[in-house]
Structure 1
Amino acid sequence: MDDDRLWSFEQSLWTEGPDNYREKVDDQVVMVLPQPPYVYVGQAAIEAVASTPVWESAELTDRQVTRPQEGLIVIGYHVRAERDGHAGYEAHCTSVIRRLDHEVWRVVQHQQTPLLAANADQK
């Protein structure tokens, strides 16, 4: 997967709905999210993100990409997401994406570290 497609794939997980999560997130995913119980696995992770409102926009910056082996991509980035009625959300994130088949990719790991208000002012 080239970088443009990779970042479009990741951004869609912020701005598209539950059907998109279910298509692009692996059944064996491990996620660390900023809400109890914090560590989610498999369908519990998919349902945790699928049950949250979709962001209207998400800007992914400070992008880092590594490809430690064929069919495995590790990314890190800063996200600023916004939707009506919410001041926005900022976090530092990582995701690991693996290839299952030709042009078929799934997220197997995702982690979010939200920026605290004090830290966001210093950015």
Structure 2
Amino acid sequence: MDDDRVWSFEKSLWTGDADHYRQLVDDECLTVLPQPPFVMSGKQAIEAVAHTPRWSEIEISQEQISRPQEGLIVIAYQATASRGEQAYEAHCTSTYRRLEHDKWRVVQHQQTPPIVSRPAVEAVE
């Protein structure tokens, strides 16, 4: 899968409906999200997407792609998504596994919202 197709594939997971998500996410996928239940199987993530409004817009930046072996693609990026007035930002990773020629499934996905730096606590004397 070439780079443009990788990013198109990933964006479609943010905006596509539950049936689309079900077609692209493996039942054995492991997902980590910044909200309960935090760690999910592919089946749990697919079910959650069926009951969650999809994002209408997604912008991806800081794109990184690795192909550590034939049939395996690992990506990392920053996502900025929106639906109506709601906005969301996260640093993400996904791993794709090729099942057969031109047929790929997500087997791992993770989202980490930006970490807000806290001012250093001064020692009280």
Which TM-score applies when normalising by structure 2? 0.89
Question: Are 1:111 and 2:110 matched, yes or no?
Answer: yes
Question: Structure 1 residues 29, 92: closer, same or farther in 2, change over 3 A?
Answer: same
Secondary structure at 2:74's aligned position in 1?
strand
Secondary structure at 1:46's aligned position in 2?
helix
Greater Rg over alpha carbons, structure: 2
Distance, in Å, in 1 between the alignment partners of 2:38 and 2:45 is: 10
- Using the TM superposition, give the Cα deviation of residue 115 of structure 1 relative to its aligned residue in structure 2, in angstroms: 2.2
Partner of 1:14: 14
- Using the TM superposition, give the Cα deviation of residue 68 of structure 1 relative to its aligned residue in structure 2, in angstroms: 0.3
Coordinate RMSD, CA, aligned = 1.5
Partner of 1:2: 2
Distance, in Å, in 1 between the alignment partners of 2:58 and 2:75 is: 16
- Using the TM superposition, give the Cα deviation of residue 117 of structure 1 relative to its aligned residue in structure 2, in angstroms: 6.5
| Matched residue type, 1:109 | Q
Q: Which moved more, 1:72-81 or 1:30-39?
A: 30-39
Structure having the higher helix fraction is 1
Contiguous gaps of at least 5 residues in structure 2: 119-125
Q: Deviations over 1:22-68 (max 9, x none)?
A: 00000100000111110001311211233211111000100000000
Distance, in Å, in 1 between the alignment partners of 2:75 and 2:38 is: 20
Residues 56-75 of structure 1 correspond to what in structure 2 (within 5 A)?
A: 56-75=56-75
Percent of matched pairs sharing the same residue: 60
Q: Which moved more, 1:24-33 or 1:42-51?
A: 42-51
Contiguous gaps of at least 5 residues in structure 1: none
